[in-house]
Structure 1
Amino acid sequence: MSPFVVKALQLLLSLSLLIVLHELGHFIPAKIFKTRVEKFFLFFDVKFALFKKKIGETVYGIGWLPLGGYVKISGMIDESMDKEQMAQEPQPWEFRSKPAWQRLIIMLGGVTVNIIVGFFIYSMILYFYGRDITTNEDMPRGFAVAQEFKEFGFQDGDKILQVNGEPLEDVTDINRLLFLTDVQTVTVQHQNFQTETISLPEDIGSEMFDKDVIRPFEIIRQPILDTVVADLPAAKAGLLKGDKIIAVNGKQVTYWHDFTNEIDNNKNTESTVVISRNNIIDTLSVTPNEDGVIGIQNFARDIGETKIKYSFGEAITGGIGYGYRTLKNYVAQFKYVFTAKGATQVGGFGAIGNLFPDAWNWVSFWETTALISIILAFMNILPIPALDGGHVMFLLYEMVSGRKPNDKFMEYAQMVGFFILIALVLFANGNDIYRWLFGS
């Protein structure tokens, strides 16, 4: 099965699960408050549905347009724009007849479920699989440092001892912390065993983003292939597991990052790779695909990992903590969307699909699903009409001011929000298509 199909299936399964759970977050409190739910759909049923069945007062179904899902709640101005219903006298079972606090709970239900699902998945991963971390003892060669960071005083072979005076449980967290948090100082041990505390600029995260240096610290690994993904360029070129990379494009390769950096710098062109296989030297040619990927992974034999096991209680608290940090980090990097460079990196379904691995792996699938669930929670709570956050914004206004926005205003706001969402979807997926066509 091709990597594209594997990713597409994982994306479809993940989104279907999260959409149904999100809509259940609205459906359940609506039922608790005796509010009629007319439809519960996975995907949109524009003109027709692939499947539908009425049970009680609700029609359950699957639409043909996989851009989300919805519950249609009686007496609510939503994407259905049911003006005929809204023109009639309010009924006791309608959304508009319920107290503002009940309507607020109904609208917050989807986001709440997405947060809970993300935290729960992370907790179960920790409980059943534990967590692999990398300590300084696990990486005897230390880090390879990007040239831009050598200007601050970092050196190849450095080991991270402390960040802002605190030790790191997993030293590979250094890249995420630099990009997303307020890192003022990093204490390192150089290869000569001398320690140094290096001060960093206040805007180091923005500087990394502007210079496209998102991973300034890479573990130094031997250039030996561990995984070659079938049907991708490396496999088609003849590269095999166990091959040792000697040179690429005429440049000697000593460590893994020497190879990956050269491939990344030539994403749109053919690269000549010299390998050693069973003490025989061979030369191969490989060209990255439209995503800039050749399909190889490296787990050098001199790099280890430390496994942390969790009790059930520890897994719950650990999963909640990890989920909270994931949400916090996503919110922190969201500011980059509003820059010229950041806007070009916004992605649609293609970008989301690429979060999944090329080969089916349940741990990776659940990790990615948890991440998407948390992202959906944040995106849905944005104060944009037509999103849950837009409804919440107007409800909070009503609760504070004591005045309910009139139906005509809500209809116009809903239409504006709908067109904003359509524009964002087209823009994001347009970026995916552009990157696919031009490989950037």
Structure 2
Amino acid sequence: MEGGLIYSGKGYINERLAGLTSFVKSMNISLKISLGICVSFFMILVGILLLLSMCKIIEFLKRIATSQHRLAVHNNNGPFKLAPRKFSAREISLATDYFYDGRIIGRGGKGIVYRGVLQDKSAVSIKKFKPDVPSRIVSKIFVNEVTILSQIKHRHIVRLLGYCADLGGETLVCEFINNGTLYEHIHEKTKGSSTLLFQLRMKIAVEISAALEYLHSSSSTSKNISIVHLNVNSKRILLDNNYTARLANFREAKVIPQDQTQGTLQGLPGYLDPESIKSKKLSAKNDVYSFGVVLVELLTSQRAFCDEKPEGQRDLAQFFARSVEEGRWDQILDGKIIKEENLGTAKKVVDLAKSCLGLQNERPSMREVAMKLEVMAWDYSAAKGVAKLNFSPSPKETDELNGSPSNAQLLQVRREHDESFGRAELYGDSSLQNQIIELV
């Protein structure tokens, strides 16, 4: 080295320039290494995210495939379509304005209900499961409701119109009932018509008892099975503008032997049969108990369970049973509804409700309950000269009786027509009954 110059092998260069060149070369190598590490890390991260997304998509597709496979039942004549219609995700989105919050008409523990409008301008009720509900639970509830609701048809049971199992979550599409729940009309005093008249309450009781009787008896007697709702309460009873009642929400419903089966009761406090809670045995008598609680609600206008009341009065069924036992039943009745002119009929309903809330082996069947309520309603209408509560027979039914029929005759004719209609809808094929049991 001389004069600040160094020999590079190709000639002499400035010493400072040589140092700078060496530094640049080392920096380039470091940058390349750092860039390579960053790119590699980014690619690994993208790969992991893609893998996780693919796993979730595959899981969701499997869930849909399982749901749709279970919704396709094969009988002797080939495929049997359970739901009347399969809606696309686009149809459901458009009907609800893409699940706009302003369309929400109800919220539950596992789902949100929207008021939808289809392309033909018809209003429907659309239930979508909440995103935080585990997929296995969604699939179980979804298939159970579609399986059961699509097999039954009764004037006092909410009708299933279809379903959607596309990407975005399973949804149920049912007929829209536009006048709220029985609970709202009895207990939420902000409603203008919250105080239902006695004869209207009798009408609602008759209609829901008929729906439950249909469920319990709409199976082949040789197979000895029943459809049991297992979640009867005043929030599951919907009313239309004419105050015609519909039983809704079959989330917990099961097809079970008519005697009993193992299972856990789930539902609102105050409506659950205490015997079955302890024994973990389910039967049609669970619905009888829950319906008994609804009868007491109609008589007293009190909630089935209320934390704000003293301990001995929180559970309405227990408080009612004690009051009847002690001869104080008239003191807990709603004085605005139960008056002198209907006190006699109300006492009969009190006795019926008491029997529904009794021990399981002493409770009446829903058929007995429905028959007794219909006779009470007929007798009350005839004695007071009030409206016949939609119990009037059709001209065809009257002609078949060849003359002036008695109340009992009219009830029997209507019952035979209803049962024939219901059984034809539910069991068009002899093998379908077992297929429903296998699906649930």
Q: Larger relative CO (CA 8 A, sep 6+): 1 or 2?
A: 1
- The normalised TM-score by structure 2 is 0.25
**Larger Rg over CA atoms:** 2
- The normalised TM-score by structure 1 is 0.25
Tell me which protein shows more strand as a share of its residues: 1
